[in-house]
A = this chain, B = another copy of it.
Amino acid sequence: MTLTFDDFQTGHFGRFGPRHITRDEIIAYAREYDPQPMHLDEEAAKASMLKGLAGSGWHMCSLMMRMIYDGFLHKSASMGSPGVTEMKWLMPFRPGDELTLNVDVLETRASQSRPSMGIVTFRCTMLNAKEQTVSDMTVPIMFGRRTLAEKV
């Protein structure tokens, strides 16, 4: 079954994961996209405000994307997203963390100009094993709608 706009309603949608974070993947992402010493090197990280090796905030975003994809986007009529309304990095994430993605639907809005689609605004929070919120994102995603034929 493909999830369409019509399958989403405001409220809690689901929890996905957990995903185990490794030192290797933190360093691999950092080397490619965010080679600040605090994301690459244990000693430099200890001396930084992160107080130890921690992943890039943009790595966190990439991990959220992957967990959204694996969680439900892969079986949806997604038509992409115009952007991110807000993204907060609240805590460091580190090697050994077990991260769970919590997804709530804040709003659903049918498109006036394009009746074949609607926009669902999600709030996605990443939690660590202590249920602390590591990051908090609000993102609208466009989805196709069920056709009248399919609704019958």
Contact = CB atoms under 8 A, between A and B. Distances in A.
B32 A79 contact: no
Contact of A33 (B56, B63, B87): B63
Given A65-B56, A86-B86, A87-B87, A79 B33 contact: no
A3 interface: no
A84 B86 contact: yes
A62 B33 contact: yes
**Chain A contact patch, size range:** 20 to 34
A21 to B, nearest CB: 14
Contact of A86 (B50, B63, B74, B85): B85
Q: Which 10 interchain pairs have the tightest Cβ spacing?
A: A83-B88, A33-B62, A84-B87, A58-B65, A33-B66, A83-B87, A34-B65, A83-B89, A58-B62, A33-B65
